[in-house]
Homo-oligomer: A and B are copies of this chain.
C-alpha cells in the first residue's frame, strides 16, 4: 500500500522497452541526433503547433529554467502560495533566475483566481523600481492539492495576465493527469488557453527521468540552449531521455498511465465517501487525494503497512483543516498502483 508519492514507483514497461531498443549503436550527442529530432516533432504533433522543446533532467529544473526565460532583472512571478515553485523547490527558481521572486497569492482549492491575481498585480505593479518587474504568472496543472483548472479557467487567467503584460507558465508535473480528467486536447489546455511555456513532466507518470520545457511562444526560447547548458542540464547521451519520450507517447501510453492512476484515485475517493468519519479536503481532479480521516484510522493503516504522508495544515482555511482527533493525509496513486492496494487501504480505515 504505497501512497507516498507517484515518484516512488519505477518505470513502466513501454519506457524500458524504448530504452532497450535504443541502447546500441551511435547517435550524435547533446540532442543533435535523429531520435531527439523525432521527439521534438512528436511534441509538435501532440500539441498541434510549432513548439520548441528542450529536455531537462528534473521538474525543478524545468520550472526554474522556464521561469528564467520569462523574467528579466528583478522579475516577479505570481503563483499560488502553495505552489511547488515557491515552497518545494529549495529556491531553485530564485537561484536559476538570478533572484526572481515567487510571489505567493491566496486562492481556494490550491488555485489562483482573478481576485488573487488582481491583488498581486497591485502589490507589484509595473514601473515601480522598488518593487521589481512583474513578469509572469505560473499555474500548476494539476495543482499541488490534487485539483485542476478547467481550460476556461486557464484561458481567463492567461487573459488577465496578458492584459497586464505578463507571460504565462504552466507547471505540468502532472500534466497528463489533468488532461485526461478534463478530456480536452493538449493544445486546448495550453497555448489555445494562452500558456506561453509549459513544464511537461513524464517522470511522475511512468518515466525514469524525462521532463521537457515546451515553448509555445518561441520568442522566449531564444537563449534557452544556453540557459539549459549553463545550468548543467544538457545531457550528453540525450537519447536516453528521447527514448523515454518515445515510449511515453507510443500507443497513448502516457494517457493510459494517467487514466490508470486517476482511476485509482477515484476508487480511493469513492471509498472515502462511503466512510462516515472521513472526507476530502479538496475535490480530486488528478491522481492525488487529500483526505481528512480520524487519527486512529490513519494509525491503523500505517500499522498495516500503508505508506503515505501526513500533510501540513498551517495556512489552510478552516473547512480544509482536520479537527481535533483528525489528520490530513496525502494519498498519491501512480501507474503502478493496484485496485487491490486501494481496497486494502480503505479496509484499514473502516
Chain A residues with a Cβ under 8 A of chain B:
2, 4-5, 7-11, 13, 16, 19-20, 22-30, 56-62, 64-65, 68, 72-76, 87-92, 94-102, 119, 122-123, 129-133, 203-204, 208-209, 223, 225-227, 229-237, 239-241, 307, 312, 314-315, 336
Known: A11-B240, A60-B234. 12 other contacts (CB 8 A): A8-B27, A19-B208, A20-B20, A26-B307, A56-B232, A57-B235, A58-B234, A64-B232, A73-B91, A87-B123, A132-B230, A209-B235
CA distance A227 to B71 in the complex (A): 12
Chain B residues near A22 (CB-CB < 8 A): 10
A129–B30 CB distance below 8 A: yes
B58–A233 CB distance below 8 A: yes
B223–A237 CB distance below 8 A: no
CA distance A234 to B235 in the complex (A): 15
CA distance A204 to B29 in the complex (A): 11
- Residue A10 contacts which of B24, B72, B90, B99 (CB distance < 8 angstroms)? B24
A231–B10 CB distance below 8 A: no
8 nearest CB pairs, A to B: A61-B232, A95-B99, A94-B99, A7-B236, A90-B229, A208-B240, A74-B91, A57-B57
Known contacts A58-B232, A234-B58, A235-B209; A226/B30 CB under 8 A: no
Can you list 19 pairs linking A and B with CB atoms under 8 Å apart? A4-B28, A7-B29, A7-B236, A7-B237, A11-B237, A16-B20, A60-B234, A73-B95, A73-B223, A74-B95, A74-B229, A75-B91, A87-B131, A88-B130, A91-B101, A92-B229, A96-B232, A98-B98, A119-B315
CA distance A241 to B28 in the complex (A): 22
Known contacts A19-B19, A225-B129; A90/B74 CB under 8 A: yes
Chain B residues near A61 (CB-CB < 8 A): 231-233
Chain B residues near A239 (CB-CB < 8 A): 10
- Residue A230 contacts which of B9, B19, B95 (CB distance < 8 angstroms)? B95
Chain B residues near A307 (CB-CB < 8 A): 26
Known contacts A4-B28, A19-B19, A237-B208; A133/B73 CB under 8 A: no
CA distance A22 to B133 in the complex (A): 32
